[in-house]
Amino acid sequence: MLLSICILFVILIILYLLAIMPKLKRNPNRIKFEGWHYAHRGLHDNKSQAPENSLEAFRLAVQGKYGIELDVQLTKDLVPVVFHDYNLKRVCNIDRKVSELDYEELLKYKIFKSQERIPTLREVLECVEGKVPIIVELKIPWKPKNTCVAASEELDAYNGLYCIESFNPFGLGWYKKNYPYILRGQLSTDFVKEKIEGSRMQYFLLKHLLFNFHTKPDFIAYHHIYKKGLSFMICRKLYKTWPVAWTIKSQDELEDCKDYYDAFIFEGFKPKK
Q: Which residues are catalytic?
A: 40, 84
Cα dihedral 99, 100, 106, 110 sign: negative
Q: Please classify residue 77 by burial: count the beta carbons closer than 10 Å to its beta carbon, then call 0-12 exposed, 13-18 middle and 19+ buried.
A: exposed
| CB crowding 46-61: b at 16 or more within 10 Å, else e | beeebbbbbbbbbebb
Which residue in 56, 53, 89, 54 sits closest to 70, CA to CA?
Answer: 53
Helical ranges in 87-136 per DSSP H: 89-92, 103-106, 121-128
Which residue in 121, 119, 122, 177 sits closest to 145, CA to CA?
Answer: 177
3-class DSSP assignment, residue 172: helix
From residue 101, alpha-carbon distances to 76, 78, 125 in Å are 5, 10, 22
3-class DSSP assignment, residue 212: helix
